[in-house]
Amino acid sequence: MRQPLPAIIPALLGAALLHLVVIFTVQFAPPTPAPALPDTALDVLLLRNIVPTSAPPAPNATPAPQNQAGDSPLGNASVTMALTPNDVPPQLPEPVALPPPVAPPTQKPLQQQTVIHHPQPAPTPVEPVDALALPTAPTATAASIFASQGAEITQLTSDLDARATLESGRLRRQAVSASTRELRYANYLAAWARKVERIGNLNYPQVAREQQLYGNLILHVAVRADGSVEHIRVVRSSGLEVLDQAAIEIVKLAAPYAPFPPDIAKDTDVLDIIRTWQFTRRGVLGWERTR
């Protein structure tokens, strides 16, 4: 026959069950730590003015009676006792006015240097040039060269005539060239050219013959009425200094020239002779062709 369980066993089981229920139902949380103060925390000290406990009496106010011994609510006490020094409340020191805090000097803001950038003008675009569109230079021919020289001589002659007109009252000048058709001037010019050509071929520059140098130049020779030379000027160079200098020397060697005939001397003091000199490949001196 079984023995009944002791009564303590059910009690232990119930207690264990109760503890389990409490453990699983009640949550325990650790206390929240206080927030840590930042390292940059500042200690602020507040200063307050000490205000006296008793305000000064008003001008019309009646002073309050001092504390008297034996005062009754009815105020009929027969004996009044003076307050001892111990009974007098100590007087508080008068507040000392603190000087106003001095504000730190404000620093003036640095003036920023303003840099003004001037806009640079945009470069002008260069249009491409078509090499095929460029006009080709015409080939120079002997006829075109002589034509251009003749036009240049004609222009120079007209310029000299205008200069002579402006210098009226001074020397009377007349410009002549191979295209001059007036008979009196044409005859004198032909005689002058024959003499220059003869002297020029006798004194042809040897260097030009040895090196086969040739070329054309326009020379202006001013001849006075007595046949002397006033001045010599190269109007258009041949490109070779030896030929230009040779032409000048030939004019000097051929001087003096024939005096002006009466029909020229009556109204002309100086003849401005403009001719195109030709140093040919054959080594002889020639002139431009007359038309």
Residue 224 has pLDDT above 80, yes or no: yes
What is the reported pTM? 0.45
Q: What percent of the chain is modeled with pLDDT above 70?
A: 47
Over range 7-28, report the average pLDDT: 80
**Mean pLDDT (whole number) for 199-223:** 96
- What value does the mean pLDDT take over residues 161-171? 60
Residue 203 pLDDT > 90, yes or no? Answer: yes
Q: Is residue 99 part of a domain?
A: no
Domain that holds residue 215: 144-285
> What is the pLDDT, as a whole number, of residue 152?
62
Which residues are within 8 A (CB) of 57 and not within 5 positions of it... i.e. 6 or more apart?
Answer: 63
Answer whether residue 93 shows pLDDT above 80.
Answer: no
In this structure, is residue 225 part of a structural domain?
Answer: yes
Interatomic CA distance for residues 245 and 279, integer angstroms:
12
Asked whether residue 115 is assigned to any structural domain, the reply reads no
In a domain, 275, yes or no: yes
Q: In the prediction, which pLDDT does 107 show?
A: 52
First to last CA, the chain: 176
pLDDT for 6 equals 66
Question: Domain of 171: which CATH number?
Answer: 3.30.2420.10
Whether 111 maps to a domain, the answer reads no
Nearest to 150 by CA among 18, 276, 26, 6: 276
- Domain tally, the chain: 1
Residue 17 lies inside a defined structural domain of this protein: no
Burial (Cβ within 10 Å: 0-12, 13-18, ≥19) of residue 275: buried
Domain assignment present for 198: yes
Mean pLDDT (whole number) for 48-66: 48
- pLDDT over 70 at 252, yes or no: yes
pLDDT of res. 74: 43
Residue 109 lies inside a defined structural domain of this protein: no
